[in-house]
Structure 1
């Protein structure tokens, strides 16, 4: 009995609520709420970037090989026995630093011999001068024959020449003693010693005693198709016109751009490889940290073309079903339209757009996926730092 009464009460309550809702449906309050919901516009938030045309240089990424800025093969200028090695292998050496010592004793003895010969020739010159002075006085009074006087003149000149000759040979002997200490002709890193103490070396030997390479600056030789030579020359001539020494090249050590080294193109080769059709482009770069070592292969970005273009973040570029590139632009009437664009590569992780835009266009960078018909756009300036964060 109690259960039936509860069911009847619940049914009556439900009927009263339904009647109340039906009675309120056409009320002014309900109609105003529904109208407000229907009239509220849909908004799409987008981030835009003002297109700005600027001068852009496009690059070809090419592989290059590092070459030492200077290379010196150490060879003896005199013959003798190596008595001492005066450097540590693989260390930095300064110009004129002693590297090897050849036995000095033979050169010291030779100098003494040359000094004795010079002293003897000076004595002979003194005697010849005295004889010439005596005969010169007698010749004025015709007290000596013409032949005797001429012989005195000749002997004095001969003695003087002997002195000059002995002075020169003495200087050569002293120079040989100097050459007995073999010194570094350039500053750089010296590689392993190719001879040891006790080795007999001779002037003119084909084998080097050691090799020094200067790498605080290095060359990077890059092969480039000869077909691009004219373009490269135009870029080089443009650099000369603006008083730039060489043409800038980026040397990529890793994917981290902060480790890049900037070099300069100093010249392009004049001979084309018959097998590949390439020519050598030489780049010079500072290498104070000695990051680049001779023989290493590195990636380089060699200038290919200069043009006026727009740089856009990669996310701004969209693709149609046929692969055509386009961007979305916000118009003055706050509508979004599509613009087909021409891409000429990527620079600094941004697309190079050569045509399809004009200065001042508001290009949508983020939020274009929210754009729908009859949707109001809420455009704000794109903040790349916020995206990076």
Structure 2
């Protein structure tokens, strides 16, 4: 009996020693250090605000060359596809018929002028005779009426001469504007008619050239609101510079400016047509080309910018960032983003200047966790010339 008690006592002592040994091991396990993360301190900075939109070029001026008189084309006096100047003769229509009409009208004018000379001389003679009663008052009145009638015939003949002269001048078809002329749509010997609907050629002015883009109405409202609130400052000269990227991705070397915007919104697309004027001295831009136009709206002098890599999305697609509190614990905060600046977002709400956000190490942190923040050595600053793409998705 005593031997069994001793065995139990020994076993209890051994169990207590093992238990105490396990407690010591638990107490000696070191705690995990705070997760090291890179942060960025929110600082207000000046950011140029741009709108990049697709558009198409349109001719500054177009003239459809059509005949004003009927006749046969005798000559073509231009080279197809060449540049022509306003007033340059393009075609010659057979003028013989119109020359004959013009000569006839001049002859009728000469006859009317001669008759007026005779009527005026007779009136002058009767003026002195009627005072001495050598001729009757009726004869004088008839002479006065004949002289006025002769003057009327002169005016009528002069009108006939001018009309015939205009038609004769129309046999020479001139370029109404300066520009590049298309291929000829008629040949020498072809009959053309006055007021025909078919063009003989088309002249297009290429320098300058229009660029028409469709600006979303919501973007126009945002722009006007930000201008009214003073968030965006206009260019000093009040103009909106426009740069163009061609369809092959190359940047057009010349800078234009916005000319106008339509006052009506297209109900089908909810857009407003904005027109820019671009210089085109090398005739590189042609009407109908697809381009991307970048409109420089102005400058946001106090923008908060966060890298796109620092922004995550919740299940609803709302943007959010990890914010480091003063006690170095992190919290997930929802924000509102606007346009993009290079590889960053402009934050319109949800963050304040001086707050710290996590830009690297997001996958290893959880809400309320303590972190070891390290500020980036060189934070990417938003360049004043960085493009802002209004087509980027805006999340609220």
Using structure 1 for the length normalisation, give the TM-score.
0.68
SS in 2 for 1:259: coil
1:200 to 191, 198, 208: 191
Greater alpha carbon shift after TM alignment, 350-359 vs 254-263: 254-263
Greater alpha carbon shift after TM alignment, 167-176 vs 242-251: 242-251
Q: C-alpha offsets along residues 18-70 of structure 1, whole Å, 9 cap, x if unaligned?
A: xxxxxxxxxxxxxxxxxxxxxxxxxx8979677224466464x5443332222
Q: 1:235 to 1:207 in 2, by over 3 A?
A: farther
**What are the ranges of 5 or more consecutive residues in structure 2 without an aligned counterpart?**
1-35, 383-396
Q: Structure 1 CA distance, aligned partners of 2:219 and 2:377?
A: 43
Partner of 2:99: 108
Cα shift at 1:131: 0.8
Q: Which has the higher helix share?
A: 1
1:172 to 140, 147, 163: 163
Cα shift at 1:186: 1.5
Q: 1:168 to 1:245 in 2, by over 3 A?
A: farther
1:67 and 1:294 in contact (8 A); partners too: yes
1:344 and 1:351 in contact (8 A); partners too: yes
Partner of 1:11: none
Cα shift at 1:130: 0.9
Cα shift at 1:249: 5.4
Count of residues in Structure 1 that have an aligned counterpart in Structure 2: 338
2:318 is equivalent to residue 326 of structure 1: no
Greater alpha carbon shift after TM alignment, 89-98 vs 318-327: 318-327
Q: C-alpha offsets along residues 200-224 of structure 1, whole Å, 9 cap, x if unaligned?
A: 2122111111112223233344445
1:296 to 289, 300, 318: 289
Cα shift at 1:189: 1.8
What root-mean-square deviation, in Å, do the aligned CA atoms of Structure 1 and Structure 2 show?
4.5
SS in 2 for 1:189: strand
1:49 and 1:364 in contact (8 A); partners too: no
2:233 and 2:299 in contact (8 A); partners too: no
1:47 and 1:381 in contact (8 A); partners too: no
Q: Structure 2 CA distance, aligned partners of 1:191 and 1:113?
A: 38
1:354 to 348, 351, 356: 348
Q: 1:376 to 1:363 in 2, by over 3 A?
A: closer
Q: Structure 2 CA distance, aligned partners of 1:213 and 1:268?
A: 23
Partner of 1:216: 207
Greater alpha carbon shift after TM alignment, 139-148 vs 354-363: 354-363
2:305 and 2:346 in contact (8 A); partners too: yes
Cα shift at 1:154: 0.9
Partner of 1:283: 275
